Structure 1
Amino acid sequence: MKFFGKILLVTSLVCSLAILPALSLGATQGVIELPSLTGLVKELKPTVVNISTTKLVRSPMDDFFRGRDLPDFFGDEFFKRFFGDQHPREFRQKSLGSGFIIDKEGYILTNNHVVEKAEQIKVKLSDKKEYDAQVIGTDPKTDLALIKIKAAGDLPVVHIGDSDKLEVGEWVVAIGNPFGLEQTVTTGIISAKGRVIGAGPYDDFLQTDASINPGNSGGPLFNLRGEVVGINTAIVAGGQGIGFAIPINMAKGLLPQLKKGRVVYGYLGVYIQDITPELASSFGLKESKGVLVSDVTPDSPAKKAGVNKGDVILEYDGKLVEDKGQLTKMVGRTPIGKKVKIIVLRGKEQKTLWVTIGQLSEKQVTAAATKPEETDRWGLKVQDITPDMAAHLGLPNNAGVVISDVEPGSPAQEEELQRGDVIIEVEHNPIKGLADFRKYIETYKKQKTLLLTVRMQANEYHNFFVVLKKKG
């Protein structure tokens, strides 16, 4: 599992193969027969591949004992004496996934989580021929990977479509390998576009009502013209008819970098948040347009360009800014070193600034989300829960705050709180959001202990009481 909470990664998107019924439009309109997909499926199947991987993983029991301050008898002799050869410290795990051939040179697109840390990758074509595959490039941020095989003869290749032209309600076809059932064909519709499911700052998923199962990740989602419009990726655990695919246009944009082996992202260096009606009123804004800069990173491109805390970014590179997600993606896709014009509202005056986009490193924070609230006393960083995040985590509502980070060696870490856990009460006081959390942390700041009610991610978000104890 790669996405936190109830979002599960799968290895392509499938719905149960069904006979599509005729749609009755009433006595006066007669009956409309849906077209057969037989010819389309015959054409598309050869372009879809089965991917099997082998990974070296540690035993869960080895993980339990690793790093704990336990007596020496929990070493190798302990395992040999009590488990013999029945409990290896490491073992090889096999996984299945899907992919599709994008050109005759043997390049195949799939999900990063399908091939991540794989020792060996095997690709099986529709004609049953198998080939060893090499990883060319990966991008964990968007869960994309490019692999390559050396095959004799002409390879069948997909036609790449335009996911921006997809309409909600449009029919789509998925072909993949759920549970190793090769070349399974399913159908569904596009249920929504631009979904944010908490996978990362570049979330922009297509939602489909096709069911998704393990073994389907990385497989193609086709429109009825036989063009790939998405890469099937994730499901909501316990949900029915809720699956997600990466828009093919995102993959098209990253493909040149994937072929070079590494994907880089543009970096602006601001913390941003969407403008609520309350914020608009507080800042004297007539409309909730643009995004509010809540902080600027020192020595960042934004700082050097003159962006200030409290500015409202209205335009970026000639495009109106609608929300923080849109700006994050626009910045990420901007070439490194490009000089970009941004228009900000400062007070009642619009200003034009020019910023030279930098390169995002793993330690930097993109223009991605509201700056988390930090509590030094307890070692927690928390932030508000969006309605989309609550839905995809399987939470009954968006009350509480989600833990975004835990400081090593802190009281929070000692009580085994983790990123993704949700705090819903402080000292029995209900927490609706970040404002409540701040208030009660301040109220009980002199206490040596702090009682929290926490929905634990590791325990399927059931409630647990946790008491944090100050050090010293």
Structure 2
Amino acid sequence: MDSCRAGSTVFTAVCSAFTRIIAFGLAAFLTASLPAAAQPGDLSDLAARVIDAVVNISTTRRANENPNPDAQGQRPAAPDTEEPPRAQRSLGSGFVIDASGIIVTNEHVIRNAEEIDVILSDGTSLRAELLGEDSYIDVAVLRVRPSTPLQVVKFADSNQIRVGQPVMAIGNPSGLGGTVTAGIVSAKNRDIRTSPFDNFIQTDAAINRGNSGGPLFDMAGDVIGINTLGLTPSGGSIGLNFAVPANTAQPIIAQLREFGETRRGWLGVSLQELSNEIAEALRIEPPRGVVISGVDPRGPAGPAGMRSGDVIVNLNGQEIRDPRQLQRIVAEAPVGKDVPVTVVRDGRSTELTVTLARREVPAAGTSVVSALGMKISGVTRAQQRELGLRDDVRGVVVVALDPGSPAAGQGIRPGTVITEVQNEAVDSPGAFIRRIETLKAEGRRSAVILVLAANGQTRLIALNLT
């Protein structure tokens, strides 16, 4: 609408000029307010600067191995044919963090691989050595031997990211290497129950099959996350995609490079949420922290002075919000490190110091296997303590699972213990796999499994085998 129609010629001219100034200022403001992702020049410059540090990962595995979710290979031959099963190939993404040839990708991209090849942006293919892998946060570290130094990218401080900020992903979807997609940070600290340490970055930047292991960049060209999975009913991106935060991945990457394995901290306590009723009874105002419901006599918490009923409100300088956050902080802290802890006891704050022990890993011979969208391991002593299981409990424990799997849809979560499959006890990952394969060979499309939940209750679940 023209607001300068009435009045003198001089007034009209002045008003029109003023209107143009306001319109120009508003346009400039709106342009400056647009996210960087909406400015093509910024994205093209950014992509050109970092794309050579992004690599394609190609793996070969036996046909009878469980392929990763990005598998592009052929199904094995039918059992009644004499044709030997063909090797399965799968594709993924990765990125260079050290010019000498250190590359980061997802653990599921190289899972069960017999051969791993890294394809650089110029098409050069290099055989890779696996330095270490961690299935809990889905990270693996590879080494290649290039003839010249590789282009690298560096990690950003992912704690500083903000919901709504623009991001860019580069990867190898469906074997189409060097593919750039863009979006925003949709949410932070997402727990989608794939492992005890979930705190994913959620983004609507497209992450399709084959993008796994590639970098999620901020607009400075630094890596804020490792693209890991997308929730989709169709196989294509629907804008629900997740990346491991850089700050979660970096200490794990450092340990894999140094030790070839992960060495996580362990506190030795059982935890529960602090309800309003418990907070009032313990005289904690306002309610904050998590309650210690039990102290393992073999863990470091007891000697440090922690007791059942204490409320942990701060550990290693970080305010504690919930049990899962505390588990992540402890797991990421170096083993053997003296860590300051603040607990509230009888309404008063008490400062303690605890020396973290090493979180127990499965003993030699206790493998982790993948089946039906779940990662299954034997029940270790540490898991018995953490889950509050009796010493005589036998079975296998779910350590991680695909959030889109039928098992997840039936309410199975990390920490669920499976004791029977179709009326037969299973006490090892091998026994679980053999039982599942036997049922499949019998033509069964589903099986009844007996699960033991973290609260000690048992229930029967019908699980799809196809």
| 1:120 and 2:118 correspond | no
What's the TM-score, normalizing by structure 2? 0.71
Q: Per-residue deviation at 1:315?
A: 2.1
| 1:168 and 2:200 correspond | no
Alpha carbons of 1:247 and 1:398: their partners in 2 closer, same or farther (altered >3 Å)? same
Task: Work out whether residues 372 and 381 of structure 1, in 8 Å CA contact, stay in contact via their aligned partners in 2.
Answer: no
Task: Work out whether residues 52 and 122 of structure 1, in 8 Å CA contact, stay in contact via their aligned partners in 2.
Answer: yes
- CA displacement, residues 16-69 of structure 1 (integer Å, 9 cap, x when unaligned): xxxxxxxxxx99944637321222212221111110001124279xxxxxxxxx
Match of 1:417? 449
Report the Cα distance in structure 1 between the residues aligned to 2:160 and 2:381, rounded to whole angstroms.
Answer: 33
Find 1:42's aligned residue among 41, 48, 62.
Answer: 48
Report the Cα distance in structure 2 between the residues aligned to 1:413 and 1:160, rounded to whole angstroms.
Answer: 46
Report which structure shows greater RCO (CA 8 Å, sep ≥6): 1
Match of 1:184? 179
Partner SS for 1:159: coil
Report the Cα distance in structure 2 between the residues aligned to 1:390 and 1:52, rounded to whole angstroms.
Answer: 23
Report the Cα distance in structure 1 between the residues aligned to 2:417 and 2:384, rounded to whole angstroms.
Answer: 18
Alpha carbons of 1:335 and 1:392: their partners in 2 closer, same or farther (altered >3 Å)? same
Q: Per-residue deviation at 1:99?
A: 0.3
Partner SS for 2:142: strand
Amino acid at match of 1:163: S
Aligned counterparts, 1:84-123, within 5 A: 84-86=81-83, 88=84, 91-123=86-118
Report the Cα distance in structure 1 between the residues aligned to 2:356 and 2:245, rounded to whole angstroms.
Answer: 25
Report the Cα distance in structure 2 between the residues aligned to 1:161 and 1:146, rounded to whole angstroms.
Answer: 18
Alpha carbons of 1:296 and 1:160: their partners in 2 closer, same or farther (altered >3 Å)? same
Report the Cα distance in structure 2 between the residues aligned to 1:325 and 1:390, rounded to whole angstroms.
Answer: 17
Partner SS for 1:40: helix
Match of 2:226? 231
Aligned counterparts, 1:197-208, within 5 A: 197-208=192-203
Report the Cα distance in structure 2 between the residues aligned to 1:254 and 1:125, rounded to whole angstroms.
Answer: 24
- CA displacement, residues 423-461 of structure 1 (integer Å, 9 cap, x when unaligned): xxxxxxxxxx96xx96xx8xxxxxxxxxx674x45379x
Report the Cα distance in structure 1 between the residues aligned to 2:114 and 2:144, rounded to whole angstroms.
Answer: 15
Find 1:404's aligned residue among 406, 413, 416.
Answer: 416
Query: % of aligned pairs identical?
Result: 35
Unaligned runs of 5+ in 1: 1-25, 61-78, 383-388, 423-432, 442-451, 461-472
Q: Per-residue deviation at 1:391?
A: 12
Amino acid at match of 2:192: I
| 1:324 and 2:323 correspond | yes
Match of 2:64? 58
Aligned counterparts, 1:371-386, within 5 A: 371=387
Unaligned runs of 5+ in 2: 1-22, 67-76, 362-379, 427-446
Partner SS for 2:149: coil
Q: Per-residue deviation at 1:241?
A: 0.7
What's the TM-score, normalizing by structure 1? 0.70
Aligned counterparts, 1:208-357, within 5 A: 208-238=203-233, 240-260=238-258, 261-357=260-356
Alpha carbons of 1:283 and 1:187: their partners in 2 closer, same or farther (altered >3 Å)? same
Task: Work out whether residues 226 and 244 of structure 2, in 8 Å CA contact, stay in contact via their aligned partners in 1.
Answer: yes
Task: Work out whether residues 448 and 463 of structure 2, in 8 Å CA contact, stay in contact via their aligned partners in 1.
Answer: no
Task: Work out whether residues 420 and 449 of structure 2, in 8 Å CA contact, stay in contact via their aligned partners in 1.
Answer: no
Task: Work out whether residues 268 and 367 of structure 1, in 8 Å CA contact, stay in contact via their aligned partners in 2.
Answer: no
Alpha carbons of 1:401 and 1:248: their partners in 2 closer, same or farther (altered >3 Å)? closer
Partner SS for 1:142: coil
Report the Cα distance in structure 2 between the residues aligned to 1:153 and 1:40, rounded to whole angstroms.
Answer: 23
Higher Cα Rg: structure 1 or 2?
2
Q: Per-residue deviation at 1:409?
A: 8.4
- CA displacement, residues 243-285 of structure 1 (integer Å, 9 cap, x when unaligned): 1001112222233312121220111111112212243345454
Find 2:80's aligned residue among 64, 83, 87.
Answer: 83
Partner SS for 1:156: coil
Pairwise CA RMSD: 3.9
Task: Work out whether residues 49 and 125 of structure 1, in 8 Å CA contact, stay in contact via their aligned partners in 2.
Answer: yes
- CA displacement, residues 144-201 of structure 1 (integer Å, 9 cap, x when unaligned): 1110111112321113322122111011111111111111110010001111111212
- CA displacement, residues 321-340 of structure 1 (integer Å, 9 cap, x when unaligned): 22212211221122221222
Match of 2:72? none
Report the Cα distance in structure 2 between the residues aligned to 1:418 and 1:254, rounded to whole angstroms.
Answer: 34
Report the Cα distance in structure 2 between the residues aligned to 1:28 and 1:367, rounded to whole angstroms.
Answer: 65
Alpha carbons of 1:405 and 1:83: their partners in 2 closer, same or farther (altered >3 Å)? same
- CA displacement, residues 376-427 of structure 1 (integer Å, 9 cap, x when unaligned): 9998999xxxxxx9995699x99978671023589685874166x99xxxxx
Report the Cα distance in structure 1 between the residues aligned to 2:302 and 2:100, rounded to whole angstroms.
Answer: 45
Match of 1:151? 146
Partner SS for 2:449: coil
Match of 1:132? 127
